Amino acid sequence: ILNKHVKNKPCSRRPKKVTPEKTQEVLDAVEKNRYGRELSTEALASKARLSTNCVWFILRSKGLRKTKPTQKPGLTEAMKDAHLRFTLCYRH
């Protein structure tokens, strides 16, 4: 038997869903503004029309991790007045 008879024939494969354009689209959505970083993989996947696993893989391959959004509590007028009195009293 000759090797040319045993070689595997090149087979066509399914095209990849995660193209460089889709990768850039996901990264742009995340880096666009502060609210993009708070989006879940489900929300990003629905925008890019990819699966959540694909989006998760893109984010992890670029070194991004999940983060918990934080909010600084606002001050009421009474709290602002108390803070102003304190700073004026103990000013250097």
Domain positions in the chain are 16-67
pLDDT in tens, the chain (92 residues): 787 777 777 788 888 888 999 999 999 988 887 777 778 889 889 988 999 999 999 999 999 887 777 778 888 999 999 999 999 999 87
What is the reported pLDDT for 79?
A: 94
What is the reported pLDDT for 85?
A: 95
Dihedral sign (CA 82, 85, 90, 92): positive
Q: Report DSSP letters for 1-16, one per residue.
A: --HHHHSPPP---PPP
Look up the pTM and report it.
0.59
What is the reported pLDDT for 52?
A: 92
